[in-house]
Homo-oligomer: A and B are copies of this chain.
Amino acid sequence: MTTASDTPALNIGLLGGGTVGSQVARILTEDAEALTERIGAKLQLTGIYVRNPHATRDYQLDAHYYTDNVDEVLDGADIIIELMGGVEPAREIILRAIDQGANVVTGNKALLATHGNELYEAAAKAGVQLSFEASVGGAIPILRPLRDSLSGDKVNRIMGIVNGTTNYILDQMDTTGASFHDALAEAQRLGYAEADPAADVEGEDAAAKAAILAHLAFHTPFTLDQVYTEGISKISDLDHKAAANAGYIIKLLAIAEQLDDPAGVVLRVHPTLLPRDHPLASVRGAYNAVFIEAENADELMFYGPGAGGAATASAVMGDVISIAKRKLRGGPGRTHTARRDLACLDIGETTTRYMMVVRAADAPGVLAKVAGTFAEHGVSIKSMNQTVDETSSEDHKTALLAFITHRAKESELAKTLEATKTLDVVDEVLSVMRVEGK
């Protein structure tokens, strides 16, 4: 135990009093004694910047903590915790905090994925730390292991389930056979999805996290607009059935992978088929997980709650305490991570496997014709599964053909797709999805 008189104190300013901010405020006050004992210094919450100081909150501190004057919170702060979300005014306030010599902890993925480099450089120049564990995977410690524990290894690929809303929806569709719209409505009812679900459902949130993960893994800053992004709103029952028939499950993955030829990184977010025994396949409901393939460590997975106030606050506090401990030791701040300059490649350079589902005439020679088109474009077929087409009629007998390919270049698959669409025996290409995992 320590006494107030001889214990150093660090001033903490909090920006934002929402779900996560409230929980950080709770931990800083309720667990103050244990934290002081652990760190050897008092973490003194000096103020909370909010839009409306008089609003009611999940966890409410004494009224004098809340202010709508950001200067009161920045003034004299050793550590600023930014949990406002959104690009502005968060960006501008963080830059001011850095300029004043404060260390910054943020969970703001949208900001980091668009203006990250500006912030990293400002922090490096000012000799302060900028930490952001909470920006990806909620409570899951993923950024620190990537940066520190794997620093002596070579990360080849990261695949993450980093959006709980879409994982919940896909899980419901898989387990209950619900349609996308019903599963979305259920997610909204349970509070897993926003009233306007576009950022989650169309993959933008996952894309921001892909850019942040890739920065840590490949030591090169990337931005949101470099991520190829496909959401889950077009996934049908039929896709789920075709996937299940072939032994796969559909997950929305954020993938960052390093290629050797051409050299660079491909960033992509899209619905992906995974074998049902893949570790990521068992990540259910609103949980998140990040799967890492590294040269020496082989395959690692980090799993946990991807959202939630208390869970995300746990990650924020881990960053705060690391900064506090370093500040107390008195040494210089962390040197800026050595920068590499890997190119961000077009998705056309990716090599992976695919499932293509085609509605085609149910007649002799059709399979050979479609398979021939794959062969022409150098795409080799691993398996094909033919199922009954419920739209088939006596006049025009059709069947559903689900092809799974061996590994092929994305650009070659695109050509195969175009050629398949023009075949007279093919009514329609119903879906094309990428397949990952061994």
Where the two chains meet, the residues of A that have a C-beta atom closer than 8 Å to any C-beta of B are 23, 27, 31, 34-35, 37-40, 133, 139-141, 144-145, 148-154, 219, 277, 279, 282, 284, 294-305, 308, 310-311, 313-318, 320-322, 325, 328-332, 334-335, 338, 340
Contact = CB atoms under 8 A, between A and B. Distances in A.
Nearest to A278: B282
Given A279-B303, A296-B23, A145 B141 contact: yes
Contacts of A320: 152
Contacts of A295: 310, 314
A297 B301 contact: no
29 contacts: A38-B151, A39-B338, A139-B296, A139-B297, A139-B298, A139-B300, A140-B300, A141-B145, A141-B149, A144-B149, A148-B322, A151-B317, A152-B318, A152-B321, A153-B318, A295-B314, A296-B311, A296-B313, A297-B304, A297-B315, A298-B304, A298-B310, A301-B302, A301-B304, A302-B302, A325-B335, A330-B331, A331-B331, A331-B332
Given A34-B154, A149-B144, A282-B279, A296 B318 contact: no
A163 to B, nearest CB: 18
Nearest to A145: B141
B321 A151 contact: yes
Contacts of A35: 152
A350 to B, nearest CB: 24
Contacts of A305: 297-299
A347 to B, nearest CB: 26
Chain A binding surface SS class = mixed
Contacts of A331: 329-332
A341 B27 CA distance: 23
A304 to B, nearest CB: 4
Contacts of A27: 152, 296
A31 B305 CA distance: 35
A318 B150 contact: yes
A314 B152 contact: yes
A394 B214 CA distance: 69
Contacts of A31: 152, 154
A297 to B, nearest CB: 4
Given A144-B149, A153-B318, A301-B303, 4 more contacts: A37-B340, A38-B219, A141-B300, A295-B310
B297 A338 contact: no
Contacts of A150: 141, 314, 318
Contacts of A332: 329-331
Contact of A296 (B37, B38, B277, B314): B314
* Closest 3 A/B residue pairs (Cβ): A331-B331, A152-B317, A141-B149
Nearest to A340: B37
Nearest to A303: B301
